[in-house]
């Protein structure tokens, strides 16, 4: 029943937000100061198409959320931004993704530089089996920094930025695996911001955490917005409405609607969006 | 109704799994008992070897007298079925230079009387094995300085350490200084030969080298003189022993390694003698065709070989596993390679030995000789067995174990950790070296432990690639290049085989087999324990690996 509705609405409604051949920019939802521009991205896993004609811009120093039911392509789109999909042999990306003015799909791009610029926090926190200090300093060490004073500074700054410093500053040499779930995730955030990226991608960062830890991380996102561009994928719609400035609703690999969070949740233009955010399906 | 309930009970019994739990418990206990039994047997027979046992004087019914240690007792069936079982005792009578053989079996019913004379003396000698007898007299430069057991015993005790020192001095000059001179002369000769092989007019350099050789010969003459003096000193004091049947035997005091009177010793004296014999066993060279003395060169050779093998097998095994799992495109070829690697582990070790002889020794070794050691030819340097080739053979043998264990460890590193590292801007290489391999370290060390355990016990391939019954030198000495990888060496496993089955005097050698086996087991335990402790430390510290 719901699926038939989809077919109807996508044909009847004005597709001013979706695609118009030839002049993608005018059809995209305009955001202030875009740092990531996605132009006509299609992604295939072998024969199966996972992303269809994605056009969107991500605004700088704001939080953008991707919401949608399972399997709609949110994480896939997120992973395009730091080209982690390259690790999947059968993945093939068409289209243009421009971050900070550079097309990241271009063969001359240095992937390690891209990934330093576009950090990622994963759904299941994945601290390295090393000490807390070494985890946060890892990125800096990779970049070639080996002076202890500099590393100490980086570690302290990042842990403070991730609101973890007070809890662990006296046990930096302990194994990171001894932290609680929420602390581990904040450690991963600290690790990611230690390399000072422009964009921070977060793939359902709180789905494995309890409400208190989730609250702490949501507060953290609000602070991080000032210095980083956040793109967060989430299943939790309340979280999306609390945390993000802009929200994109995706379904079956397409962006159904992309607008300010207020609009998506209070005044959605598409019936599908309305059904989803009010919990009628998904 | 009762039929159904008894059937139910039976099925419940089998379903609960209890019988299988019991079965596994019993099987495990059985295995442990076998291992414990084996260790107990080896330990009991091995450790007892050094304990000085009492010397018995046995008078036979036909009047003959025998003096020696009681070393065995058994019950055999008589030839005639009607006769009862025969009990007989084995007596170690020593004095091989007098009697020809050291052990004798005596039927118990032939024994008239058994006493333990207090003054019976046991002499451990450098040649001809033990002597059991009584002291007649000690002479110095021909003149008698004491007679009889009581007077001579303290004199003997004071003389033995003095002559041991002279003996050590002689040995150090012979092996050390004269050995060095010989080495120098040999090197110079090889240099001359090398010059001659180059062709052209080298007569000036050759005569220079020849002059150096003459120098060395002169020094050699000096040392020879010194030795002559020492040998005279060595022969100065002689001791005459009387055997139990009245025969006299004279020998230089310097020929005696140790003298003791077990029947007159307290428990503490025996214990301290025991400890000194144990120390001698692990720290000195063998005597008497490996049936006496120590096994130090074998210990040294075994450990050095295991170390060289570990140094070779670890990088090769880990790199191979790394390539197979991380970098190679997973397809039929990789699967085939993996199957081959797993099958390598099942190849009989002697096949590896034969391969090593062909490839390493005759192939690589001859090539090395023809390039680097031309002057020594036709005597092969690396073109014959040696510790390097033996270690490489064992490395080949154990590399599949390391590869498999490493691959397991690498597979156990979760994908999220790798993704996390890549997402921070690390290359795959950096991720592998900084994150993946440290995480897989416990598994790699497990592979190493298994490799060491297997290699320390292999003997067959070593026999043809460089182990000898008696090696004149250790592979490490004080002369450049200090580590001589082309030298042949001794090995504990081979030593057991040689002592137990190739020895000219099997009875004397039998207890040594147990002691050497015990020593080998101990060394393997120590090596394994070290690796296990290192691995556990790593596990506790940092890892999430499952192995």
Q: How many CA atoms lie within 13 A of B229 on its CB side?
A: 7
For residue A128, give the nearest of B417, B422, B425 by CB distance.
B417
Fold (topology level) of A2-125+198-277: Rossmann fold (3.40.50)
Q: Nearest-CA distance from A175 to chain B in Å?
A: 6
Which segments in chain A show pLDDT lower than 50?
Answer: 1-24, 26
* HEC secondary structure over B141-177: CCEEEEECHHHHHHHHHHHHHHHHHHHHHHHHHHHHH
CA distance B174 to B227: 8
The 10 Å Cβ neighbour count of residue B22 is 10
With a cut of 60, say whether residue B261 has pLDDT above it.
Answer: yes
Q: Is A142 within 8 Å of B542 when comparing Cβ atoms?
A: no
Interface test with B, best of A126, A196, A197 (most B CBs within 10 A): A126
Strands A118-121 and A199-203: parallel
Q: How far is CA A91 from the centre of its chain?
A: 19
Q: How far is CA B341 from the centre of its chain?
A: 31
List own/partner pairs for B96-100 with CB under 8 A and 24 or more apart: B96/B128, B96/B129, B97/B127, B97/B128, B97/B249, B98/B243, B98/B247, B98/B249
Question: Could you tell me if A82 lies within 8 Å of chain B, comparing CB atoms?
Answer: yes
Instruction: State the residue for tokens 């156990």.
Output: B412
Predicted local confidence at residue A18, as pLDDT: 41
Tokens of B297: 């060169």
Q: How many CA atoms lie within 13 A of A116 on its CB side?
A: 18
Predicted local confidence at residue B542, as pLDDT: 60
Where are the alpha helices (H) located in chain A, listed in sequence order?
A: 2-12, 24-27, 74-81, 111-117, 132-142, 148-161, 165-168, 181-193, 211-224, 237-243, 261-266, 271-277
For residue B439, list chain A residues with Cβ-Cβ distance below 8 A.
Answer: 129
Nearest CA in chain A to B539: A129
With a cut of 60, say whether residue B546 has pLDDT above it.
Answer: no
Greater pLDDT, A15 or B457: B457
Instruction: State the residue for tokens 């093998």.
Output: B309
Window A:195-254, CB contacts with B under 8 Å:
195
Q: Which of B92, B89, B81, B80 is nearest to B109 (CA)?
A: B89
Cβ contacts of B24 within 8 Å, gap of 6 or more: none
Interface test with A, best of B329, B417, B424, B437 (most A CBs within 10 A): B424
Per the CB < 8 A criterion, the answer to whether B74 and B108 are in contact is: no
Cβ contacts of A128 within 8 Å, gap of 6 or more: A134, A135, A138, A176, B417, B420, B421, B435
Predicted local confidence at residue A10, as pLDDT: 43
Interface test with B, best of A142, A187, A231 (most B CBs within 10 A): A142
Domain ranges of chain B: 138-255, 296-542
DSSP 8-state symbol, B242: E
Q: Nearest-CA distance from A1 to chain B in Å?
A: 38
For residue B438, list chain A residues with Cβ-Cβ distance below 8 A.
Answer: 129-130
Residues in chain A: 282
Q: Is B424 within 8 Å of A122 when comparing Cβ atoms?
A: no
Q: Is A116 within 8 Å of B425 when comparing Cβ atoms?
A: yes
With a cut of 80, say whether residue B1 has pLDDT above it.
Answer: no
- For residue range B215-248, list pLDDT tens digits in order: 888 988 988 898 898 888 888 888 888 888 888 8
Per the CB < 8 A criterion, the answer to whether A135 and A186 are in contact is: no
With a cut of 90, say whether residue B159 has pLDDT above it.
Answer: no
For residue B423, give the nearest of A120, A130, A175 by CB distance.
A120
As a whole number, the mean pLDDT across chain B is 87
Q: Is A191 within 8 Å of B439 when comparing Cβ atoms?
A: no
**Mean per-residue pLDDT, B187-191:** 86
CA distance B54 to B265: 9
Predicted local confidence at residue A17, as pLDDT: 40
Predicted local confidence at residue B455, as pLDDT: 86
Q: Which of B544, B368, B291, B294 is nearest to B441 (CA)?
A: B544
Q: Is A175 within 8 Å of B427 when comparing Cβ atoms?
A: no
Nearest CA in chain A to B441: A129
* Total CB pairs under 8 A between chain A and B: 67
Q: Is A122 within 8 Å of B416 when comparing Cβ atoms?
A: yes
- For residue range B53-98, list pLDDT tens digits in order: 888 888 888 888 888 888 888 888 888 777 778 888 888 888 888 8
Cβ contacts of A236 within 8 Å, gap of 6 or more: A206, A207
Handedness of CA B129, B130, B134, B139 (dihedral sign): positive
Predicted local confidence at residue B86, as pLDDT: 83
Predicted local confidence at residue B543, as pLDDT: 52
Predicted local confidence at residue A13, as pLDDT: 40
For residue A115, list chain B residues with Cβ-Cβ distance below 8 A.
Answer: 422-425
**Burial class of A234 by CB neighbour count within 10 A (0 to 12, 13 to 18, 19+):** buried
Predicted local confidence at residue B2, as pLDDT: 63
Q: Is A175 within 8 Å of B417 when comparing Cβ atoms?
A: no
Question: Could you tell me if A138 lies within 8 Å of chain B, comparing CB atoms?
Answer: yes
Q: What is the DSSP string of B126-138?
A: SSS-EEEEEEEEE
Q: What is the DSSP string of A216-257?
A: HHHHHHHHHTTTSEEEEE-S-HHHHHHH-SEEEEEETTEEEE
Where are the alpha helices (H) located in B70-148, listed in sequence order?
A: 96-99
Question: Could you tell me if A88 lies within 8 Å of chain B, comparing CB atoms?
Answer: no
Per the CB < 8 A criterion, the answer to whether B348 and B342 are in contact is: no
**Mean per-residue pLDDT, B437-442:** 89
Element at B32 (helix H, strand E): helix B18-48
Domain ranges of chain A: 2-125+198-277
Q: Is B542 within 8 Å of A130 when comparing Cβ atoms?
A: yes
Name the pLDDT band for B346 (thresholds 50, 70, 90): confident
Q: What is the ipTM of this complex?
A: 0.85
Instruction: State the residue for tokens 């202890």.
Output: A148
- For residue range B270-320, list pLDDT tens digits in order: 899 999 988 988 898 888 777 778 889 999 999 899 999 999 999 999 999
Cross-sheet strand order for the sheet of B103-107: B103-107, B86-92, B65-76, B55-60, B111-115
Give the CA distances from residue A172 to residues A177, A180, A203, A220, in Å, rounded to whole numbers and listed in that order: 12, 15, 26, 21
Predicted local confidence at residue A19, as pLDDT: 40
**Mean per-residue pLDDT, B406-411:** 92
Find out whether the peptide bond into B481 is cis, omega within 30 degrees of 0. yes
**Burial class of A66 by CB neighbour count within 10 A (0 to 12, 13 to 18, 19+):** buried
Where are the alpha helices (H) located in B256-323, listed in sequence order?
A: 267-283, 296-322
Q: Nearest-CA distance from B425 to chain A in Å?
A: 4
- For residue range B106-150, list pLDDT tens digits in order: 888 888 888 888 888 888 888 888 888 888 888 888 888 888 888
Q: Is A191 within 8 Å of B438 when comparing Cβ atoms?
A: no
Q: Looking at domain B296-542, does it have CATH number 3.40.50.1580?
A: no
Window B:417-446, CB contacts with A under 8 Å:
417, 419-427, 430, 434-435, 438-439
Span of A15-19, A24-28, B328-332, B488-492 with lowest mean pLDDT: A15-19
For residue A175, list chain B residues with Cβ-Cβ distance below 8 A.
Answer: 541-542
With a cut of 90, say whether residue B34 has pLDDT above it.
Answer: yes
For residue A84, list chain B residues with Cβ-Cβ distance below 8 A.
Answer: 419, 422-423
Tokens of B27: 């099987």
For residue A112, give the nearest of B426, B543, B544 by CB distance.
B426
- For residue range B515-533, list pLDDT tens digits in order: 889 888 888 888 888 888 9
């Amino acid at each position: 029943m719901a699926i038939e509705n989809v077919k109807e609405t996508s044909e009847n409604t004005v597709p001013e937000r979706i695609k118009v051949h030839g002049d993608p920019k005018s059809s995209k939802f305009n955001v202030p100061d875009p740092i990531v521009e996605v132009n006509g991205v299609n992604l295939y896993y072998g024969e199966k198409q996972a992303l269809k004609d994605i056009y969107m811009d991500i605004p700088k120093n704001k939080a953008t959320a991707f919401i949608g039911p399972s399997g709609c392509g949110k994480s896939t789109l997120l992973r395009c931004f730091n080209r982690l999909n390259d690790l999947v042999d059968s993945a093939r990306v068409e289209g243009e993704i421009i971050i900070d003015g550079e097309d990241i799909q271009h063969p001359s791009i240095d992937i390690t530089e891209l990934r330093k610029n576009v950090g990622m926090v994963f759904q299941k926190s994945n601290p390295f089996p090393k000490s807390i200090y070494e985890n946060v300093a890892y990125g800096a060490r990779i970049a070639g920094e080996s002076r202890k004073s500099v590393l100490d500074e980086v570690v302290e700054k990042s842990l403070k930025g991730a609101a973890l410093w007070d809890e662990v500053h006296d046990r930096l040499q302990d194994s990171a695996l001894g932290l609680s779930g929420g602390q581990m995730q904040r450690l991963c955030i600290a690790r990611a911001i230690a390399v000072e990226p422009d964009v921070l991608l977060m793939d359902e960062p709180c789905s494995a955490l309890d409400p208190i830890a989730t609250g702490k991380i949501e507060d953290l996102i609000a602070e991080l917005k000032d210095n980083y561009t956040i793109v967060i994928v989430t299943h939790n719609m309340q979280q999306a409405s609390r945390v993000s400035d802009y929200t994109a609703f995706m379904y079956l690999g397409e962006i159904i609607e992309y607008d300010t969070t207020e609009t998506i949740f209070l005044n959605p233009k598409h019936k599908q969006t309305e059904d989803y955010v009010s919990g009628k399906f998904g | 109704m009762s039929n159904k309930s008894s059937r139910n009970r039976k099925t419940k019994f089998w379903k609960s799994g209890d019988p299988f739990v019991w079965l596994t418990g019993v099987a495990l206990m059985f295995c442990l008992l076998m291992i414990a039994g084996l260790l107990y047997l080896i330990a009991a027979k091995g450790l007892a070897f050094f304990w000085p046992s009492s010397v018995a004087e046995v008078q036979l019914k036909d009047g003959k007298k025998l003096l020696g240690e009681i070393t065995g007792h058994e019950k055999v069936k008589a030839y005639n079925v009607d006769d009862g079982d025969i009990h007989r005792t084995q007596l170690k009578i020593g004095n091989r230079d007098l009697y020809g053989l050291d052990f004798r079996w005596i039927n118990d019913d032939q024994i008239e009387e058994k006493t333990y004379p207090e003054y019976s003396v046991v002499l451990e000698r450098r040649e001809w094995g033990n002597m059991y007898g009584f002291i007649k007299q000690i002479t110095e430069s021909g003149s008698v300085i004491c007679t009889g057991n009581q007077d001579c015993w303290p004199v003997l005790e004071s003389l033995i350490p003095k002559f041991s020192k002279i003996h050590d001095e002689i040995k150090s000059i012979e092996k050390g200084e004269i050995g060095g001179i010989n080495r120098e002369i040999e090197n110079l000769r090889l240099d001359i030969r090398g010059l001659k092989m180059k062709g052209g007019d080298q007569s000036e350099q050759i005569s220079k080298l020849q002059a150096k050789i003459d120098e060395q010969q002169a020094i050699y003459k000096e040392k020879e003189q010194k030795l002559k003096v020492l040998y005279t000193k060595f022969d100065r004091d002689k001791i005459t022993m009387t055997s139990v049947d009245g025969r006299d035997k004279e020998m230089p005091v310097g020929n005696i390694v140790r003298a003791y009177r077990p029947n007159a010793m307290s428990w503490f004296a025996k214990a301290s003698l025991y400890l000194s014999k144990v120390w001698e066993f692990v720290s000195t060279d063998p005597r008497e065709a490996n049936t006496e003395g120590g096994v130090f060169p074998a210990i040294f050779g075994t450990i050095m070989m295991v170390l060289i093998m570990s140094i070779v097998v670890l990088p090769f095994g880990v790199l191979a596993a790394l390539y197979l799992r991380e970098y190679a495109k997973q397809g039929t070829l990789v699967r085939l390679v993996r199957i081959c690697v797993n099958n390598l582990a099942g190849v009989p070790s002697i096949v590896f030995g034969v391969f090593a002889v062909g490839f390493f020794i005759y192939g690589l070794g001859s090539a090395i000789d023809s390039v680097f050691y031309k002057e020594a030819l036709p005597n092969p340097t690396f073109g014959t067995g040696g510790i390097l080739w033996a270690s490489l053979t064992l490395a080949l043998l154990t590399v599949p174990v390391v590869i498999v264990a490493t691959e397991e460890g690498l597979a156990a590193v979760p994908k999220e950790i790798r993704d996390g590292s890549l997402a921070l801007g690390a290359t795959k290489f950096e991720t592998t070296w900084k994150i993946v391999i440290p995480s897989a370290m416990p598994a790699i060390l497990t592979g190493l432990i298994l490799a060491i355990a297997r290699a320390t016990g292999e003997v067959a391939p070593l026999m043809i690639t460089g182990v000898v019954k008696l090696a004149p030198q250790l592979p490490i000495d004080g002369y450049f290049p200090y580590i001589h990888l082309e030298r042949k060496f001794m090995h504990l496993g081979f030593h057991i085989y040689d002592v137990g089955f190739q020895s000219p005097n099997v009875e004397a050698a039998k207890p040594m087999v147990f002691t050497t086996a015990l020593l080998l087991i101990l060394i393997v335990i120590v090596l394994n324990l070290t690796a296990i402790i290192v691995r556990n430390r790593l596990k506790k510290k940092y890892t999430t690996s499952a192995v």
